[in-house]
Every structure is written in C-alpha cells, then in structure tokens.
Amino acid sequence: MAGDVADLDALGGWVREFARLVAEHRGELTRLDSAIGDADHGVNMDRGMTAAVTALDAAPPASAAALFKTVGMTLVSTTGGASGPLYGTLFLRVGTTAGEVGELDGPGFAKALRAGLEGVVARGKPEAGDKTMFDALAPAADALDAGLADGDSLGAALRAASSAADAGRDATIPMLARKGRASYLGERSIGHQDPGATSVALLVAAAATVLGGPQP
C-alpha cells in the first residue's frame, strides 16, 4: 500500500484480513444466523474464506482481476447456503471491474466495490430495508463514493464506509425480514441482527484496516 494506491499485496491483504475476522467472529455469525436462518453463516463463511486464502497461497495472482476471480470462484464452490453465490458474485464483479491491473487507486477501488454491490443486487434482488447484506453494503459503497468525491483520502473514505456499514448492520435489528430464510419468520425476525449485514461490516472493516493505511 503506497499512499492512496492499493497494490496486489494490499488487495490480497484485504481478503486475508476479512478471512481472519470471519474466523474470529465465526461463533457470533452462527449465533445470529441461528435466530433467523440456518445457523450456518459463520461456519460457511469461515470455510469459504479459508479455502480462498489457501487458493491464493497456492497460485499467487498476477492481477487484481485474477485475485478476485480466484476468491469469487472459490467461495461459489466451497461456501454453502446463499452466502456462496452472493459473496462469490460480489468478488467476481469486483475483479471484472478492477481488470488486469496490478494496483487500484481510490476511485478504482470504489468503482469495483460498487460493481460488487450491483452483482449482489442482480443475484439476490435485495432492496433497502429487506434485512440483508445489502443494508450494510449499500451504505458503505455510498459513503466511500461520497468521501472520495469530497476529496478525502482512501483511508478516510474507507473508515467512513466502515462506520456506514456498522450503522447499516445495526439498523437491521428492528427490521422485518423480507428476503431469504429469515422472511419465513415474519414478525419474529424483528429484533435480530442480520448475519449477512454483520459479515459485510467485517468485510468493509477489513478494507479500512488494510487499505486505509495508518489513521491520522
């Protein structure tokens, strides 16, 4: 990471930090999912991200496109439930948009993350307030775009994005679930934090930590 440019080591570091946070919060993610889902979000995400890191170690990628394609394809093939297709699509879209480059600047990263969000929307058709990962990911992408547009550094914009993701995660608690397994519970889904939004908050926190550089 040099200034406001993330090279392949930094981008790979983001994936590795996300994997570390998923492993650290595996129990919490599973506990949250046990209340409104299949009780497997933590297990599935930990399995998938562990496999993704292993794949990156086995064949170090030569470009951002290759890096995120490896992560996305690995998640699709190893992560159960809805998480595999959704997170897999997110990373695949990030990679396609990033392209065959060795580094991403702030606008480039923001454009790639926005494409990942659009991939999640295309795959799962979520909307704001549905109590899904969208409720954390969309505010994060918006905050990142807004920060960069205001002239903030990538680090400052990512920290704002992480705060927005955390707020979006917390905002799912009083929501009535309208998508996925949680929607079957009806009003009983109210009062529970969405596990997908929780893992997204970890994803954005990992970006702020690794790609954001030292906090002033």
Q: Is residue 77 part of a domain?
A: yes
Task: Kindly tell me if the per-residue pLDDT of 80 is higher than 90.
Answer: no
The Cβ of residue 178 has, within 10 Å, a number of other Cβ atoms equal to 14
Longest dimension (CA), the chain: 48
The phi and psi torsions of 175 (rounded to 5 degrees) equal -75, 150
Q: Is residue 154 part of a domain?
A: yes
State the burial class of residue 167 (Cβ atoms within 10 Å of its Cβ: 0-12, 13-18, 19+). middle
pLDDT at res. 26: 96
Return the closest-CA partner of residue 90 out of 116, 66, 68.
116
Instruction: List Cβ<8 Å contacts ≥24 apart for 29-35.
Output: 29/195, 29/198, 29/199, 32/192, 32/193, 32/194, 32/195, 32/198, 33/195, 35/192
Task: Kindly tell me if the per-residue pLDDT of 154 is higher than 80.
Answer: yes
pLDDT at res. 73: 97
Number of residues that make up the chain: 216
What is the span of the domain harbouring residue 117? 5-210
- Cα(41)–Cα(46) distance, integer angstroms: 8
What's the structural domain count of the chain? Answer: 1
Return the closest-CA partner of residue 148 out of 203, 122, 110, 175.
110
Task: Kindly tell me if the per-residue pLDDT of 149 is higher than 50.
Answer: yes
Q: Is residue 216 part of a domain?
A: no
At 7 the three-state DSSP class reads strand
Task: Kindly tell me if the per-residue pLDDT of 216 is higher than 60.
Answer: no
Q: Is residue 215 part of a domain?
A: no
- Cα(113)–Cα(82) distance, integer angstroms: 19
Domain of 108: which CATH number?
1.25.40.340
Return the closest-CA partner of residue 102 out of 2, 207, 212, 209.
2
Measured in whole angstroms, how far is the alpha carbon of residue 140 from the centre of its chain? 10
pLDDT tens per residue across span 20-74: 999 999 999 999 988 877 888 999 999 999 999 999 999 999 999 999 999 999 9
Mean pLDDT, residues 162-182 taken together: 87
